[in-house]
Amino acid sequence: MKFKLKYILYGGVFMLGGQSCVDLTETTYDVIPTDQFGSTPAQQAALIGPLYNSLGDYFDRYAALNTVTDEQVIPTRGGDWKDGDNWKRLHQHTWDPLIDNSIFNGLWTWCYNSITSINQQLGGISDPGTQAELRALRAFYHYIAMDNFGDVIIADQVGGSGSTQKSRSEVFNWIESELKAVYPQLSDQAGGVYYGRFNKYVVDMILAKMYLNAQVYTGTARWNDAATHCSTIIESGRYTLASNFFSNFTTNNQGSPEIILATPFDKSKRGGMNMQMRTLHYLNQLTYNLPEAPWNGYATLSEFYNSFSEGDNRKGMWIVGQQYAADGTPLVDDGVPFVFTPEIPAFEMPSGPTGRLAGARSQKYEIQRNNVGNDMDNDFVIFRLADVYLMRAEARLRAGNAAAALTDVNLVRERASAAPLTSLTLATMLAERGRELAWEYHRRQDLIRFGEFNKAWQFKAASPATRNVFPIPQDQLNLNPNLKQNPGY
């Protein structure tokens, strides 16, 4: 069975008999008193398992919000996925802070509930390594909140003044300071017991992401700092590019040498990885021998699909063309050959095969055949080495070192059997990030950094810059009078 994080702490299981009939004092042998457990580094490390379990919700929280980008769309097919037009509003950047409160509140509460759980444990942790790991994890959730909402809360303790809203720059500075403070105590081990956990290189990655986007967050560019932390990861030798691009996303992808941070999934132990259900057509149940019909929702835009050249192996992440049953029989949809077409004629399409078959679907994460349920075993990748090379390339390009940037980009392209580029611009840099990292949930951040998030694309008109951050959820405004809504909402 594949390695997974251990989320359950077991106590002793032995009961001793033969107690004296005159001594009615009960002696408990199968429970470790709470005031005694956690006194050793091993016990303290065991306490962090449930805190990492929350990280598994990264996939679910971002999967729907990725439809605000130009790489994902959830069109309306007859009555399917109408859902009060919420997917349309997300894609067209016309979301409403009241009507769409639940999706933003879900992201906010995931961050701050996770932070609260960490704070509650930190007080009882004395082991420096375990404490550093939890503080880094807490800083990561603050980073997500800052990236998506802008001015947010710094919750660095249980109770206290954590309900006060801070500026994005203040939050940036706090996260940076926190990550640098814990860095020396973190492990430099990659994989093994540190698979899916925070080590030095995960922190390097967060800092590199922050510095790459520092101009957006604080108004001050920090390209060289971003490149430095990328180089630290690359030169550590702890990670290498997988020889096969798709091996990063197989059902047993925990063995990839490229993964820096992933959230472990297991169809029986830790469910929730169900991308195939979100993207595949109903009849693809017959293609993969699935127990239920998929939901026929997520697709990519034809413009994004067409950004992949024919020689690029990564284009194989998209499903197009005739579909077949598991026995090789060509499938039909209501008498029409079941052929996925990259073109989506309209955001809202009438019932019928034309709408149902519109849009390339994703098989980037290997679709588990003959599965017993809707959850798959693929671990979701948050950070991996190819992104590090592309981040360093972008930072170098923006800092004026185009030759070194081109070397990094072509290294990634070579793995994909894509022809090497002879020159590099910001436009080609963004396109390359899209081809390599599609549906890994970096696209919104990338589009904002490149100044493309508010431009028009398929089914979307130009949107105001105030959409670069999501609204502070109305539920949070109601609960906390110290919070102020973001401009434009």
Q: Assess if residue 135 is contained within a domain.
A: no
15 alpha carbon, distance to own chain's centre: 44
Q: Is residue 198 domain-shared with residue 254, that is, in the same domain?
A: yes
* pTM for this model (two decimals): 0.92
Tens digit of each residue's pLDDT (9 = 90 or more) over 11-42: 222 222 333 333 333 443 344 444 555 556 56
Q: Measure the CA angle with vertex 280, ends 276 and 282; round to 5°.
A: 120
Q: Is residue 400 domain-shared with residue 365, that is, in the same domain?
A: no
Tens digit of each residue's pLDDT (9 = 90 or more) over 350-361: 999 999 999 999
Q: Assess if residue 204 is contained within a domain.
A: yes
The predicted structure's pLDDT at residue 26: 40
Q: Assess if residue 53 is contained within a domain.
A: no
- Rg of the chain over Cα atoms, rounded to whole angstroms, equals 24
Would the pLDDT of 390 be above 50?
A: yes
Q: What CA dihedral angle connects 275, 280, 283 and 287, to 10 degrees? A: -70
> pLDDT-based confidence at 157, cuts 50/70/90?
confident
Q: Is residue 206 domain-shared with residue 255, that is, in the same domain?
A: yes
> pLDDT-based confidence at 8, cuts 50/70/90?
very low
Q: Is residue 333 domain-shared with residue 411, that is, in the same domain?
A: no
Tens digit of each residue's pLDDT (9 = 90 or more) over 162-194: 589 999 999 999 999 999 999 999 999 999 999
Residues of the domain holding 215: 187-264+381-450
Would the pLDDT of 44 be above 80?
A: no
**Strand 339-340 versus strand 321-322 pairing type:** antiparallel
Using an 8 Å Cβ cutoff, are 415 and 243 in contact? yes
Would the pLDDT of 246 be above 50?
A: yes
Q: What span, in angstroms and rounded, lies between the C-alpha atoms of 209 and 147?
A: 10
Q: Is residue 295 domain-shared with residue 343, that is, in the same domain?
A: yes
**Helix H or strand E segment including 318:** strand 318-319
Q: Is residue 283 domain-shared with residue 251, that is, in the same domain?
A: no
Return the half-sphere exposure (C-beta side, CA atoms, 13 A cut-off) of residue 88.
Answer: 14
Q: Is residue 366 domain-shared with residue 287, that is, in the same domain?
A: yes
SS3 category, 241: coil
Query: What is the residue whose two structure tokens read 């190819």?
Result: 386
Q: What span, in angstroms and rounded, lies between the C-alpha atoms of 180 and 488?
A: 34
The predicted structure's pLDDT at residue 243: 98
SS3 category, 209: helix
Lookup: tokens for 375: 């959850």
3-state secondary structure 246-311: HHHHCCCHHHCCCEEEEECCECCCECCCCHHHHHCCCCHHHHHCCCCCCCCCCEECHHHHCCCCCC
**Helix axes 128-149 and 168-182, enclosed angle (nearest 10):** 160
Q: Is residue 296 domain-shared with residue 367, that is, in the same domain?
A: yes
The mean pLDDT value of the chain amounts to 92
C-alpha to C-alpha distances, 81 to 21, 90, 279, nearest whole angstrom? 68, 13, 12
C-alpha to C-alpha distances, 481 to 295, 466, 474, 476, 477, nearest whole angstrom? 40, 22, 11, 9, 6
Q: What span, in angstroms and rounded, lies between the C-alpha atoms of 96 and 86?
A: 9
Q: Assess if residue 468 is contained within a domain.
A: no
The predicted structure's pLDDT at residue 46: 72
Tens digit of each residue's pLDDT (9 = 90 or more) over 304-352: 999 999 999 999 999 999 999 999 999 999 999 999 999 999 999 999 9
**Strand 361-362 versus strand 318-319 pairing type:** antiparallel
- DSSP string over 339-387: EEBS----SEE-SSHHHHTBSBEE-SSPP-TT-SSS---PPEEEEEHHH
Q: What span, in angstroms and rounded, lies between the C-alpha atoms of 139 and 120?
A: 15
Q: Is residue 372 domain-shared with residue 400, that is, in the same domain?
A: no
Q: Assess if residue 283 is contained within a domain.
A: yes
Q: Assess if residue 92 is contained within a domain.
A: no
Q: Is residue 257 domain-shared with residue 391, that is, in the same domain?
A: yes
Using the 8-state DSSP alphabet, how is residue 450 labeled? T
Query: What is the residue whose two structure tokens read 């994989």?
Result: 191
Domain boundary residue among 352, 378, 404? 378
Instruction: Tell me which residue of 106, 159, 115 sits closest to 475, measured CA to CA.
Output: 106
Q: Is residue 313 domain-shared with residue 356, that is, in the same domain?
A: yes
- CATH number assigned to the domain comprising residue 217: 1.25.40.10
**Overall domain count for the chain:** 2
Kindly tell me the sign of the dihedral angle through the C-alpha atoms of 138, 143, 146, 148: negative
Q: Assess if residue 258 is contained within a domain.
A: yes
**Strand 152-153 versus strand 165-166 pairing type:** antiparallel
Strand partners, 457: 460
Q: Is residue 429 domain-shared with residue 346, that is, in the same domain?
A: no
Q: Assess if residue 285 is contained within a domain.
A: yes
